[in-house]
Amino acid sequence: MDAIRTSDNWQEVAVKCGLIPHGGGQARLRGIARRFGIDYSHIGRRADPSIEAPFVAKATQPFLCDAALLLAAAWFVRRGYPVSLPTQGRPYDLIVEVPGCLYRVQVKTAQQEVEADRAV
C-alpha cells in the first residue's frame, strides 16, 4: 500500500486512501497494514526537528482564571451531570442538570501567594 509507505502520519494515509481521517479509521488502517505485512514503523516518527512541538507549555497559575470555567464544567461532566453554557451574558456561568432540577452555577477562582521556601 503506497499510501502507507509514502506518508508520515495516519491522517495522511487516510486522506490518500480517500477516507475521513479520524481515530477509528486510523486504527483500521493500522490493522490492514498489519494483516498484509506492510511496514508502518516510520508512521508518526518522522519528526522535523526544525518544527517546534505544539502544546508543551506547563500549566501555570496566571491562566487559572481563564481555565476555571472549563475545569468546573469538566468536573460536573466527569460525574455524569450534563452542563450547559449560556450563549449571552448571564449572572451565572454554567447550568448543571441533575434529575428533575437545573442548577445555576457561578465559577470563582482564588490564588494565594506562597513563599518559595514553603512551596511544595
Compute the distance between CA of residue 39 and CA of residue 31 in angstroms, rounded to an integer.
12
pLDDT in tens, 39-53: 888 887 545 566 676
pLDDT in tens, 75-85: 999 999 999 99
Q: pLDDT tens for the chain, 120 residues: list them.
A: 688 888 888 888 888 888 876 667 777 888 888 898 888 888 875 455 666 767 778 888 888 888 999 999 999 999 999 999 998 889 999 999 999 999 999 999 877 776 766 655
Share of the chain above pLDDT 90, in %: 32
> pLDDT at position 116, please?
65
Q: Name the CA dihedral angle for 55, 59, 62, 68, rounded to a multiple of 10 degrees.
A: 100
